[in-house]
Amino acid sequence: GSSIMPGKINPVIAESLVMVCAQVAGNDATIAMAGQSGNFELNVMLPVAAYNLLQSIEILAGAVDNFRIRCIDGLKATGRGPEMVERGLALVTALVPEIGYDRAAAIAHQSVISGRTIKAVALESSGLTSDHLDELLDPRRMTGLNP
């Protein structure tokens, strides 16, 4: 399998965080069930609720700290982010309502083959203006960050 690939880095830390989140979700279900078991001002299930809440806090804090130390610390943003977004094929999905799936797919294909941006290819083959393409292909608008 993939474990014999030289230089491969297995995602075990991220996977362990997902497992902890699954355990916390299970603990939450137990806490909810315990909360439903109260009668009047007495809940005999309070110990199991407290146990699961405290366990969730402990394991989630440990897993997040481990993830931070082993996966996040040391990461540095580079100036390539905007360029990578501009060259990303995901932008072409914004063209589908305007020009249709087939034409948008052809633009994506041509972008890959030519190494040019989606906007550059769309500008010459879609019939859309540069200003309209800027509006359609704005990643902030597409992600809801700048509606």
Average pLDDT value for residue range 90-96: 90
Q: Is 130:137 a contact under the CB 8 Å cutoff? A: no
- Is domain 81-143 in CATH 1.10.40.30, yes or no? yes
Angstrom distance (rounded) from CA 67 to CA 15: 10
Global pTM reads: 0.58
pLDDT at 36 over 60: yes
Residue extents of the structural domains in the chain: 2-72, 81-143
Q: How confident is the model at residue 1 (pLDDT cuts 50, 70, 90)?
A: very low
The CB density around residue 52, as the number of other CB atoms within 10 Å, is 21
Q: At what angle do helices 101-114 and 118-125 cross, to 10 degrees?
A: 120
Give 54's pLDDT tier (boundaries 50, 70, 90). very high
